[in-house]
Chain A
Amino acid sequence: MTTLLEVRNLKKHYPVRKGFFSKQVGAVKAVDGITLSVEQGETLAVVGESGCGKSTTGRAILRLIEPTEGEIIFGGTDVRSLNTEQLRRFRTDMQMVFQDPYASLDPRWTVQRILEEPLRTHGSAPAGELTSRVEQLMEVVGLSPYQAHRYPHEFSGGQRQRIGIARALALNPKFIVCDEPVSALDVSIQAQVLNLMQDLQEQYGLTYMFISHDLSVVKFISDRVAVMYLGRIVELAPTKELFAKPLHPYTQALMSAVPVPNPGLKKQRIVLSGDVPNPETPPTGCAFHPRCPYAMDRCKSEAPVLRELGPGHQAACHLY
């Protein structure tokens, strides 16, 4: 296994400005120092509740949002050092599938045009082959090519998401950031789309970064999981290991919230008190300490670092 993507200390801070002269009075630390690596061909899931910075992380890696700080090494290339034109060409290697299939397709474009756009932009198919290439892409994602002249609003949510996936595949990328690709879909359609994504991964040797808040989806599709809380990774482990033996108290609480399809089973649900703190003024020390059932004095003053606690299992907690 080779490492495809390495992210070191990635940060994205949004300045908070006030007053007539727009003086910067603070910063929302949407992503605050993320370090992770993604291996060739694997699916790394990023989970966390709304506002924890998982989407921002995905977009910052693709430089759709300019990161404030940090290093992004993709296949040996330092992505942050690329200029606009280099980055534009580099985008053939890394693509994105979006959350809302209703908003991610231009309502005025036919599917044909939508799928041609990446091919035309990078000249990756001669003009005469565009139609056949689009047909092929549609077949790959399970759509009928005769629908190519329809508009997005004539498709169902699941079909639209297939179009979104086809668009991401058009450039033969190595890496796809999937930003909650199934959370806007019906449960019955979710399974279809997830299966499709898995098939495509096998077929084309894709590497996924799968952003989600749905743990059952994550359990199904990912090889490894990174758990985020308030802009930081609190735990990172192989999926099986994480679900069997979560180490960080936050992960434990998350896991206990997953419904189990067995009404007879008595489960101990860990209910967290309080809300997610404002990322503009995160708590001192460990960001999770005000809600943590095991918080110690040390947690209030010293931020824990992500440490290797088992083979491939990292957590950021003073308990271990």
Chain B
Amino acid sequence: MSTAAHSAQGSPGRPAPAKPRTLLSLLLHNRLAAIGLTFILIWTVVAVFAPWLAPHDPFVTDMANKLQAPSGSHWFGTDNFGRDILSRVLYGARISIWTGLIAVSISFLIGMPLGGIAAYYGGRTGTIIMRFMDVLLSFPSLVLSMAIAASIGAGLSSAMIAVGIVGIPEFARLMFGQTVSLREKEYIEASRAIGVKNSVILYRHILPNALAPLMVQATLGMGFAILTASSLSFLGLGVRPPIAEWGAMISEGREYIISGQWWLVTFPGLGIATSILGFNLLGDGFRDVLDPRLRSGK
């Protein structure tokens, strides 16, 4: 509160109300979030334009040039079938990022409302929902996703669904905990006293206040989803070879680390690492930007 604000009180030229800034502009003002967003943007562009960017056909084998170290003609080297790793990494972005996004969206969009409803309304319904989540959590995640993927049938979409379902309890539990603590806040009681409907309170008050850790979980979940989907591919329940997928590429290339052909795993690994880093930074940025108290403008 400056003197300018004070003198303006009543005079016709009062200051314009603070500009409601859009989420995107707030994110871009947050340095880390901007970096994260850049990584994601780059990988998205790569995924979309892979056919134009790739120097070689990612599926053509060339046994004469197998296991070539990075060079001028093959920047990232070649794999055990002589395929160009750079091209395969670029094509892999399509599958890996897409898988992560879809799987996490499934977990998020199903887990969050389940946890919120279980906590806010409580009672028998809440108990049943949360005990079911515990049952899901009690299985090792890979075993459960294998079982689900196998029962729907092998393929990329069933891998996405399987990984998505396995991630549901994490979000449900997180939202449950958040809602339980928020439910007792006085501003929730104030809204009830006003006569706001429960569904509206849940959506407009509890959800925005609970969102920050869920966003962080979602970005972390991206990494988990990409890796689990890769494991499924490796086990023959996800993408089938020769389709390029980062996790599958690492699985196939891992036996060559010992013999010194590090490039087989390093470049798809970097793909996973940078894309997950991008999502994690974005998640942190979301956390700061979604909370008006943490908005520093930096």
Contact = CB atoms under 8 A, between A and B. Distances in A.
Given A99-B186, A100-B186, A106 B209 contact: yes
Contacts of B208: 108
A205 B245 CA distance: 72
Interface stretch (A115-123, A208-216, A223-231, A294-302): A115-123
A148 interface: yes
Interface in B102-121: none
B193 A62 contact: yes
B195 A151 contact: no
Contact of A121 (B8, B189, B196): B196
Interface in A176-213: none
A91 B190 contact: no
Nearest to B17: A149
B9 interface: yes
Contacts of A121: 194-197, 200
A240 interface: no
B194 A64 contact: no
B131 interface: no
B15 A104 contact: no
B193 A64 contact: yes
B12 interface: no
Contacts, number: 77
B291 interface: yes
Given A98-B190, A146-B15, A150-B18, A107 B195 contact: no
B205 interface: yes
Given A107-B293, A151-B292, A146 B9 contact: yes
A117 B205 CA distance: 11
Interface in B1-34: 5, 8-9, 14-15, 17-18, 20
Nearest to B290: A108
A117 B17 contact: no
B17 A107 contact: no
A62 B193 CA distance: 8
Interface in A92-116: 92, 95-96, 98-100, 103-108
B88 to A, nearest CB: 44
Contacts of A118: 194-195
B125 interface: no
A106 B187 contact: yes
A104 B8 contact: no
Nearest to A151: B292
A90 B190 CA distance: 15
B15 A167 contact: no
B32 to A, nearest CB: 21
Interface in A134-177: 144, 146, 148-151, 153, 164, 167, 171
B17 A104 contact: no
Contacts of A107: 209, 291-293
A148 to B, nearest CB: 7
A170 B191 CA distance: 13
Query: Considering the complex of A and B, which 7 residue pairs feature the smallest CB-CB distances, nearest first?
Result: A91-B195, A104-B186, A88-B195, A149-B17, A103-B186, A151-B292, A118-B194
Given A96-B189, A121-B200, 7 more contacts: A62-B193, A103-B187, A104-B190, A146-B5, A146-B9, A146-B15, A146-B17
Interface of A: 59, 62, 64, 87-92, 95-96, 98-100, 103-108, 117-118, 121-122, 144, 146, 148-151, 153, 164, 167, 171
